[in-house]
Chain A
Amino acid sequence: MMNNSYQVASDHEGKSMWKFLLSEFKPKGKLLTPFNIISIPIMLLGLGLITIRFMKGIGAITNLTQDIPWGLWIGFDVVTGVAFAGGAYVITFMVYILNMHKYHSIVRVTVLNGFLAYVFYAGALLLDLGRPWHVINPVIGNSFGTSSVLFLVAWHFLLYMLAQLIEFSPVIAEWLGAKRARKILSGMTIAAVIFGITLSTLHQSGLGALYLMAKDKIHPLWYSEFIPVMFFVSSIFAGLSMVIFEGSITHKVFFGQISEKNDRAQKGIIHGLARICTGAMFAYFFLQLLVFIHGQHWHLLNTGMGYWFMLEMLGFVLFPMLLYFYSYRTNNLLLIRIAAILTMLGVILNRLNVTVIGFRWDMAIRYVPSWMEFVVTLAVIFTEIWIFRWVIRRMPVLRDPPAWANDKP
């Protein structure tokens, strides 16, 4: 995957734009890497399955039933994927609103990650729509179902993608060497950030609010009127843990792109994020505890689902929180990364417990996703990583921007 001969983007002056773009679309790097060997067959298989799905209906490749209409594609791809994309709004908040310059070097890659996550995971929603040709209805025309939480979420996805694109657009302008455009676009950053954070607050919690009407269907240990608040708070540490995790990988894989200064800053950044995660997770754990006590569900703890609930809360919230705390106190980078992975597993567990595992937990026949649902999910994730890699190798995301674009406000 490594390729040290990266083209410096602004070098193309003199070349025609078309020639430059054409050369940029050629693949860079080796073709036969372990990642490619695993991902290409899965992506092709996923594409085949998607074709079957559009020809024969959703039931042809999923195990969804009349009682369980939303499965892995919504519960994992959309609800969990968007939580992990929460890092973008938290980091932009810290860098552009709180002016914490320490985190500036990871803004671009985080925003790129967030943007791609929304495009692909919200895009995966299209696969789950029975009549996707009507997806435009809530956006145009006279069919505004404004009483629907999903209406809000759909609009927010759309607008937030736009906001993130604006936040990321100076990078594209730098890549293309468009100086004037870059100036205009970076002038829009603060507005896009403020708009984006507001949208994120609402749709991160909105994803939880989607399930408020399913009051009788979700296990009482996971259902409360506070689902939206829980989803919002957990998206903070879900997103940041993803930033730590993803940062550790990209740091290794794309090491050649990272300047010495940013390399040194990396450790401090991870430490800072670990601290924030500890705080956010403590707040989250405390909220869960309050809701649990007020819900008076003590008797449910001594059941199968009760043990499952305690595993989630103690094993994947309290424990990683303590681990984060311990590892940033002892300066242990490896432990921070382990804590990040555990936290992410906890968030996956939580989202799936609300949307899939705890949804109609009382049914005689439980929904278990088919292998084809898993393959399509993996295909979506791999495609996203491919695009991510494509962008990283071409645009100044990890490496420093070209000299002409060096404008400290």
Chain B
Amino acid sequence: MGINRRSFFKLLGVSGATLAIGSEASAASKSKYKTEFYGILHDGTRCVGCRGCEFDCAEAHGLPEPVKDVPAVRTTDETRNTVINTYETAKKKVFIKRQCMHCNEPACVAACLTKAMHKTVMGPVTWDGNKCMGCRYCMVSCPFDMPKFEYHSANPKIQKCDMCFDRLKTGEAPACAFNCPHDALLYGKRRDLIKEAHRRIFEKPDQYHDHVYGERDAGGTGWLYISPVPFDQLGMNTSLQQSSYPALTTGFLYSVPTIFVLVPAFLLGIQQATKKDPLNDEQDDE
């Protein structure tokens, strides 16, 4: 049950080197599976920073309970899959939830040489401890720095949000979105969430900054954000490329079969051409 990206690349490989640029946004709809990616929309105008989702997340994943008093801005780590960060902006105080973005074409999945990182058909990116060898290439590749590694364990795991994949399989919403008391988190099909996000911006243009973060950033992500202020004021990286990260390595990977065919043939040719002619090898021994 591998998700489309790999088969999608295979298809591309067959049809020649027409690169993946531009097609990633519709990757979900191109899937041969009838399922669409699910995602969550975070509305920065609604979130009041109660941090209830942090507690629900820790409970759902068996992680230590979050501490009460925390600095305004934190990052996720191996003990917490999500954090609520607080930013005093010119407009108002804005809270933003950070966690794995569940990219449409995740760099971590492309990076993983054991398929431990896996983009599921429903959208969540999950991690499989039975396959992972702990090389941390996913961490090097992730543009959001979301996979976290247990450096102080002899049997370390990669920790990150898995969008409560176990709950999703039984038809439930992720713990954070399910429990959010202010409807700041909306769980649903990614396509619907994008429509909903644009509807909210369209209806109250003075309340929102006109950008759905994650619609195209990093080639499209499962988590989507709308907020009253531009996202660079909320610690989000707004200079990420608008296309797929795995596509950065496809050019190199496509060159592999070419080199594997051409270089040995070329080498063998030179070797044959330069070797001493047994019929005529009198005086070129130097």
Contact = CB atoms under 8 A, between A and B. Distances in A.
A149 B135 CA distance: 13
B113 A145 contact: yes
Contacts of A101: 285-286
A134 interface: yes
Contacts of A148: 110-113, 137
Interface string A133-153: 011011000011111111110
Contact of A216 (B130, B237, B253): B237
Interface in A179-225: 190, 193-195, 197-198, 201-202, 205-206, 209-217, 225
Interface in B229-286: 237, 239-241, 245-246, 248-249, 251-253, 256, 259-260, 263-264, 267-268, 270-271, 274-276, 285-286
Nearest to A148: B113
A125 B133 CA distance: 11
A56 interface: yes
Contact of A213 (B107, B115, B134, B271): B107
B163 to A, nearest CB: 20
A294 interface: no
B253 A145 contact: no
A70 interface: yes
B259 A58 contact: no
A166 B251 CA distance: 32
Interface in A146-163: 146-152, 154
Given A97-B267, A214-B140, A215-B143, A130 B245 contact: no
Contacts of B152: 56-57, 59-60
A99 interface: yes
A215 B248 contact: yes
A215 B271 contact: no
Contacts of B162: none
Nearest to B158: A130
A132 interface: yes
Residue among B5, B107, B139, B251 with most chain A CB within 10 A: B139
A228 interface: yes
Interface string B117-145: 00000000000011111111101110101
Contact of B151 (A59, A138, A147, A205): A59
Nearest to B151: A59
A225 B114 CA distance: 25
B252 A228 contact: yes
A66 B139 contact: yes
Nearest to B129: A131
A209 B133 contact: no
B59 interface: no
B97 interface: no
Nearest to B265: A194
Interface residues of A, number: 63
Given A143-B115, A145-B112, A198 B264 contact: yes
Given A137-B114, A152-B253, A129 B140 contact: no
Given A57-B152, A213-B107, A69 B252 contact: no
Contacts of B246: 147, 213
Nearest to A206: B252
B52 interface: no
A228 B250 CA distance: 13
Nearest to A142: B115
B114 A138 contact: yes
Interface residues of B, number: 63
Contacts, number: 170
B252 A149 contact: yes
Given A59-B151, A131-B133, A194-B271, A213 B263 contact: no
A102 B285 CA distance: 10
Contact of A57 (B110, B150, B286): B150
Given A66-B77, A198-B264, A129 B135 contact: yes
Given A145-B112, A205-B252, A212-B248, A135 B133 contact: yes
Contacts of B190: none
Given A198-B267, A213-B246, A66 B148 contact: yes
Contact of A99 (B149, B150, B153, B274): B274
A54 B155 CA distance: 9
B134 A64 contact: no
A137 B117 CA distance: 13
A156 to B, nearest CB: 10
A66 B152 CA distance: 12
The 6 closest A-B pairs by CB, nearest first: A130-B134, A59-B151, A151-B113, A131-B134, A69-B136, A69-B139
Given A99-B275, A143-B116, A213-B245, 5 more contacts: A131-B133, A143-B131, A150-B137, A212-B252, A217-B140
17 contacts: A58-B149, A67-B145, A69-B139, A70-B136, A99-B274, A101-B285, A129-B134, A130-B149, A130-B150, A137-B114, A138-B114, A146-B6, A148-B113, A198-B267, A201-B263, A206-B252, A211-B140
Interface of B: 5-6, 9, 75, 77-78, 107, 109-116, 129-137, 139-141, 143, 145, 148-156, 237, 239-241, 245-246, 248-249, 251-253, 256, 259-260, 263-264, 267-268, 270-271, 274-276, 285-286
